[in-house]
Structure 1
């Protein structure tokens, strides 16, 4: 009897167990089935953002200036990460992180966190071999800049997320970026991607961008500028080279520069594109435009005589002077000898409105329009603000402010027969050529070109810019830098701007050396840099030289006498 009762009790327990299991199976397979299936699907598949490959930046001939290379970025899904201290230590060593810092990242809220961005492929393979649940690697792209510091200020750089932060990378970010895609991926128990189930959004690769820059001439320009700055221990240097017939900027360099492949140690002063963003008083490289305005309105002719007061003149209680006393000279010689007083007298022959309008037509006071970030418009005050003394000093490049890029555009007007074109950093195709705007007669532009050719003769201030095989037109400039209360003692901007060949200009170049030590005249400091850039630029563009019988070789002395250039003088204080 007792045995039978025990059997029935065991059978009852077994029956209850079977009923419980059946109830649980019904609950799991029927009642909770949809929720469990969704949870399983969520754990097994996930959406992956597929980054777009950023378009390459190329020079005008197709040489790469910025390209994207594939890299991996290590990420974690914190809720799925399960590892002990040993595994944490190994992962930290592979990623070159402190274990405490790694643990802190893994404790962050959210479904996703980057542990380390853009690691080498071997690091990603080592992480994968650790087999830690919830740790994975994403495909990304890192920017590489083959030209390094040579083209850094033009190209700029992109951030770790692939967004342009400086230069062309920023200006044309929308063109270069493309559109990222999205795909549904199945993953294993460790959270590693196994296979793509479907592509939900296709990747649209960024477009390649051809710049107007010639990488060969860019290198020449940067090296010449760098050596010029080093020779005179200058604060900085800027150089711009333009094709005057298309408005294309074929070279643009700044010193100091930086390496966009490694920004460590570079500050804002190295990364600032001074040739585009900095506006400074140009000094005597401005004089040709004062003279051009007077010629255009018939106020003077090239042979008109101007008395330069033997180096000293008063205007509205202020003194103007030339460092080298000059008497009666022609308008041509005012440019050749770079007389401040001569330029001031020519400016005073014009009314405020007339001179202001002509200077605006050359592009002063207007942004060059390249679309480059931080492009300055400079300073050209409205004509109703000018007093007589203001008009006189503007005549020789004081009381106005321009960038090197603006000066290059203005000289391009002279080189292009009086037609102003918009400047561009993109390569101009034949179908994209624009007609430009005529702002000066062809005859006036030709007359100014002849005057500027006299500057590089032995009698002019720019002999060190002369080329034996080509005729050069150019102008020296030596501007004392303004400060809070007048002009700064011993601080100058030395410059040279011009074009070649004179009769059929192919290149315009502007060189500015900021605060050179020792010698500070543009004809000594900036002209040799211009000469080197122009000689190489004409050769690279295969510009035929003058026939041997037409060549003129200007012997350039090893050292010019101090005071030869008149443009270094500035306005004095009221007497």
Structure 2
């Protein structure tokens, strides 16, 4: 019995030792460069424990606006001081003279650092290229003047650019062949960071480093190593279509008018490029809800959708100029006392946004062709995806807006046979949801005479040496489109919204530039804590009316109609752009 117990205990001990030995072998011999699900490189980690370093450039690609201005990171002149410099003698006076700070201040700084210190504008160090050269010519051990990659002072276009984050498991699943990537490598989570992630991945970091012992003292003398990637092609630059100045101006205007939820989309009509796109609320990494770009999420359009019904009516010859509609009736043709516009023709019905006119026309259109509404919406570029997509290298369907959601017109095909469902659809309610970017695209399509294009926010991917990796040259869309006659008629209707003395856009008559557009107020089905109904408030259009250059959409979501800053924001953006172009 005792012998059996000894054998049993011995077996357990041997098995335990075997597990420990296997674990040691796994750590030291088998998976030293890819340990655990995170793919931790144990060799690199052991070295990093004995290393102090300053990363000059993390190697990830960067973003610029259409003029080459940085949108996220910039190269900033900086002074790097390693801790061991406080224990050796060097010409302190010469350095302080160059950087224009007192010797006592520098000595105080040196006395307190335990890790490499990076000093730049934030710390009052403003270095010129000549001063950088002078500092490095002093050849002081542990002190370097460099150009360091750093975030720009004020964040801009955050919803377009997107965010990055660490996700080791996702990294390994997306890029199984990139064993050279550290598990700490940042990957794109939203926006362009997500769309272009494979192009943006770092090839190697550029850094200054030196090795230390357990007490932080230099391990191999005081030589600091400069490690840089010699690859002339990476990191790449994503050249966006954004205009940084216009983007910043648009963001400021929305903040000025206290639009807390909503945003703007501004397109160049000729190219269909995004010049500015703002989504509110601002990005807050601690709150997932703020990461959504509302400009590519479907929401109720309200009377903006009457643009589609009008275009369909013109295409099918239902725009009789002599016909009168009783706009004292509600959308269902009932006299509930809520309307008092009297008899209006088709054009003035559009200018004053008479519901009854467009519910009547929608009924008549569906009797002619029950798919006419969705077909016309597609011809106008309103249903998507409307963002650029196509073949790029090994991607068969690369998307510049990977988080873009599709809009829809009908909840069920049977609704086309239900009068009240048709009525609600005709005025952009019921199940109609479209993205603000798609509405901007519709306005640009009308302004171009009916030519449809995909919305583009990136024009080129550039190698590090400035040569071109890829250009997103074509963004035209094949297929049916509205006729030039329909487009011209719609341009007149959209202009009448502003010029009519009772038009819903008459506020914009005082602008120096002529504006054409359409307003919209959509019920959301939500209420405030006090019980007040919440609406989506829109204004969408293009300008100058006679030679369209810009298509602009402004929407404020979940607001009470009295508090909306939509029209004020639209007005100010148009005014700023007009002054810029004059």
Q: How high is the TM-score relative to the length of structure 2?
A: 0.64
**CA RMSD of superposed structures (Å):** 4.3
2:71 paired with 1:65: yes
Partner Cα distance (1:310, 1:526) in 2: 27
Residue 293 (structure 1) shift: 1.2
5 Å matches for 1:247-258? 247-258=272-283
Partner Cα distance (1:526, 1:198) in 2: 52
2:79 paired with 1:54: no
Aligned partner of 1:439 in structure 2 is 481
- Given candidates 169, 180, 190, the residue that maps to 2:204 is 180
Residue 167 (structure 1) shift: 2.4
Partner Cα distance (2:229, 2:251) in 1: 47
2:352 paired with 1:337: yes
Residue 427 (structure 1) shift: 3.5
5 Å matches for 1:44-193? 53-67=59-73, 120=118, 144-148=151-155, 150-159=156-165, 161-180=185-204, 191=219
Paired residues in the alignment total 430
Gaps of 5+ in 2: 1-45, 81-111, 121-145, 167-184, 389-399, 461-469
Residue 517 (structure 1) shift: 4.1
Name the SS for the 1:519 alignment partner: helix
Residue 507 (structure 1) shift: 0.3
Gaps of 5+ in 1: 1-41, 74-92, 96-115, 123-138, 543-575
Partner Cα distance (1:454, 1:470) in 2: 15
- Given candidates 281, 285, 302, the residue that maps to 1:283 is 302
Partner Cα distance (2:301, 2:458) in 1: 27
2:525 paired with 1:482: yes
- Given candidates 522, 529, 532, the residue that maps to 2:572 is 532
Tell me, yes or no, if the aligned pair for 1:507 and 1:537 is still in contact at 8 Å. Answer: no
Name the SS for the 1:64 alignment partner: coil
Partner Cα distance (2:420, 2:306) in 1: 16
Aligned partner of 1:3 in structure 2 is none
Deviations 1:408-432 (A, max 9, x none): 1111111111111000111379992
Partner Cα distance (1:198, 1:275) in 2: 42
Aligned partner of 2:328 in structure 1 is 310
Partner Cα distance (1:322, 1:502) in 2: 36
Structure of greater Rg:
1
Aligned partner of 1:425 in structure 2 is 457
Tell me, yes or no, if the aligned pair for 2:384 and 2:407 is still in contact at 8 Å. Answer: yes
Partner Cα distance (2:414, 2:382) in 1: 16
Name the SS for the 2:535 alignment partner: strand
Tell me, yes or no, if the aligned pair for 1:313 and 1:320 is still in contact at 8 Å. Answer: no
Name the SS for the 2:242 alignment partner: coil
Residue 445 (structure 1) shift: 1.0
Partner Cα distance (1:369, 1:503) in 2: 27
2:301 paired with 1:294: no
Residue 224 (structure 1) shift: 1.6
Aligned partner of 1:397 in structure 2 is 428
- Given candidates 463, 473, 492, the residue that maps to 1:450 is 492
Residue 389 (structure 1) shift: 2.3
2:280 paired with 1:271: no
Deviations 1:18-38 (A, max 9, x none): xxxxxxxxxxxxxxxxxxxxx
Q: How high is the TM-score relative to the length of structure 1?
A: 0.64
Name the SS for the 1:350 alignment partner: helix
Partner Cα distance (1:322, 1:285) in 2: 24
Q: 1:242 to 1:481 in 2, by over 3 A?
A: same
- Given candidates 403, 406, 413, the residue that maps to 1:384 is 413
Tell me, yes or no, if the aligned pair for 1:452 and 1:473 is still in contact at 8 Å. Answer: yes
